[in-house]
């Protein structure tokens, strides 16, 4: 019997109100998909389609309708999956307009192809020979709440801390950075900040000069994307190294990626496979950046442990010593139990902690028939 794909929405509930410059997050919906053959129902590939509200190009009211249509078309095609045809299926079935769906299908197909064990890339990470260094993420909030998060991350053994800035008073944010630097040097604690485009042309230079006082590793996306002349200037003159994030979203053509990076010349780029269209398209960014001597790291985008697991395994395919942004698995009350664990600022894979997909058995699954 040909392969079938079905999906179900799953609402993830935050443990706390997560503040960003785009607003407060308390919940997030992902669509979990499973690929299987009725003649071998125990072999199931699972993936996650999780558009990020206000950021993904496929964050649209008709998202689920289109996901259902794509699943229905997949089920008509009488497909078999091989390593060589996954990219062909993704391109012809989904294209580039639905990057989070493409990521979910690619993950599910890789999982299915490798035996349905949630091991998409059989590497040192899943074989417990390699842990991935990650940054500890501090969400926007009150001065007191952010300072408390900082202290928790340091106590938990994180050596790299990333603070989201741009929502509260800038002086209060600087006070938090100053507090950290009074107690920890740049050699002891690496500091990253993420402005999510919160600065404007009138203030960005002044704020970057001020932030440089705190010996920051980098600042993500200081201004809104698509201001290419200003961003190129900032990448050249900023005393804090610039990391591009939102600037990359929506660029899928290889030549477009190369032109963008050659024009802006950032120190770093930050890669979110869910927003960029999956692993092969993310790999294009990596190879292009490396040819242009641009460093990079990979970040999850509020996926459940299903998506985070896939991204972590992909990340481990590369020999990148920079701390990655893969600490979001602890955000939710109702995340799917998995082998992913965090210890002393590292993400590790512990097979003694099994996957538990009981939640999928109690939630609605679309027939897509």
Residue numbers annotated as active site: 164, 272
What does the alpha-carbon distance between residue 261 and residue 85 come to, in Å, rounded to a whole number? 29
Range list of β-strands (E), the chain? 4-20, 23-37, 40-49, 132-133, 136-138, 160-164, 190-194, 218-220, 242-244, 268-271, 295-298, 340-343, 346-349
In the block, tokens 């294209």 appear at 95
In the block, tokens 């259902």 appear at 68
What does the alpha-carbon distance between residue 1 and residue 43 come to, in Å, rounded to a whole number? 13
Measured in degrees and rounded to the nearest 5, phi and psi for residue 43 equal -95, 105
What does the alpha-carbon distance between residue 33 and residue 71 come to, in Å, rounded to a whole number? 9
What does the alpha-carbon distance between residue 312 and residue 326 come to, in Å, rounded to a whole number? 7
Instruction: Using alpha carbons, select from 173, 258, 259, 250 the residue that is nearest to residue 216.
Output: 173
Q: How many residues does the chain have?
A: 369
Q: What is the dihedral of CA 85, 87, 89, 92, to 10 degrees?
A: -130
Residue 272 near residue 296, CB atoms below 8 Å: no
Q: What is the DSSP string of 263-274?
A: HH--SEEEE-HH
């Amino acid at each position: 019997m040909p392969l079938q794909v079905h999906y179900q929405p799953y609402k993830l509930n935050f443990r706390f109100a997560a503040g960003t410059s785009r607003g407060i997050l308390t919940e997030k919906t992902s669509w979990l998909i499973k690929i299987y053959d009725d003649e071998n129902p125990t072999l199931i590939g699972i993936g996650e389609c999780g558009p990020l509200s206000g950021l993904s190009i496929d964050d649209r009211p008709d998202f689920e309708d289109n996901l259902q249509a794509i699943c229905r078309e997949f089920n008509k095609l009488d497909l078999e999956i091989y390593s060589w045809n996954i990219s062909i299926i993704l391109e012809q079935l989904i294209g580039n307009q639905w990057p989070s769906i493409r990521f979910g299908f690619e993950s599910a197909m890789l999982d299915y192809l490798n035996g349905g064990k949630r091991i998409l890339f059989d590497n040192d990470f899943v074989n417990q020979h390699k842990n991935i260094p990650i940054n500890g993420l501090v969400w926007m909030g009150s001065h007191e709440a952010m300072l408390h998060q900082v202290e928790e991350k340091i106590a938990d053994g994180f050596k790299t801390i990333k603070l989201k800035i741009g929502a509260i008073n800038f002086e209060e944010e600087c006070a938090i950075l100053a507090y950290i630097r009074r107690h920890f040097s740049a050699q002891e604690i690496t500091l990253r900040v993420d402005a999510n485009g919160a600065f404007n042309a009138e203030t960005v230079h002044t704020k970057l000069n001020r932030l440089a006082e705190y010996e920051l590793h980098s600042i993500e996306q200081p201004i809104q994307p698509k201001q290419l002349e200003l961003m190129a200037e900032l990448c050249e003159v900023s005393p804090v190294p610039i990391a591009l994030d939102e600037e990359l979203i929506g660029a899928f053509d290889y030549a477009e990626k190369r032109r963008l990076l050659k024009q802006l010349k950032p120190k770093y780029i930050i890669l979110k496979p869910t927003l960029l269209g999956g692993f092969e398209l993310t790999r294009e960014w990596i190879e292009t950046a490396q040819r242009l001597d641009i460093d990079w790291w990979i970040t999850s985008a509020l996926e459940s442990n299903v998506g985070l697991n896939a991204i972590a395994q992909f990340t481990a395919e590369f020999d990148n010593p920079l701390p990655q942004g893969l600490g979001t698995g602890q955000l939710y009350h109702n995340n799917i139990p998995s082998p992913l664990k965090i210890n002393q600022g590292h993400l590790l894979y512990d097979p003694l902690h099994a996957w538990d997909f009981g939640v999928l058995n109690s939630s609605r699954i679309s027939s897509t028939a």
